[in-house]
Amino acid sequence: MIDSARLWIGLLVGAAVVLGAVATRRFIATGERPLAPLAGAATAFAGVFALGEAAGYFRPARASVMTVLSLFVAVGLAVQWYRKQ
């Protein structure tokens, strides 16, 4: 039986990949930075690191730093998106 943390980590990685693909497609089509999908991808990566740390897959210090950095990037992108609107 699969561990539930692995399932959620896999779903979050999938969401990050899909959002990254959406961002890439929008950038190719319009030439503008798609901030909302990038913020979503950064948030999904933060979730991956947080769940991986809780499940014991990542070292705690590194996972905490990556979680904080991912959330910092996500908030920065969300603020830029909000100001652009």
Which stretches of 1-85 are DSSP H helices?
4-30, 35-55, 60-84
Mean pLDDT, the chain, rounded, equals: 93
Contact 63, 53 (CB under 8 A): yes
pLDDT 10s digits, 34-75: 999 999 999 999 999 999 999 999 999 999 999 999 999 999
Confidence (pLDDT) at 4: 87
Structure token digits, residue 5: 């943390």
pTM for the predicted model, two decimal places: 0.89
User: Structural domain boundaries of the chain?
Assistant: 4-84
Backbone angles phi, psi at 31, to 5 degrees: 85, 0
Residue type, 56: G
- Of the candidates 9, 45, 41, 2, which has an alpha carbon nearest to the alpha carbon of residue 25? 41
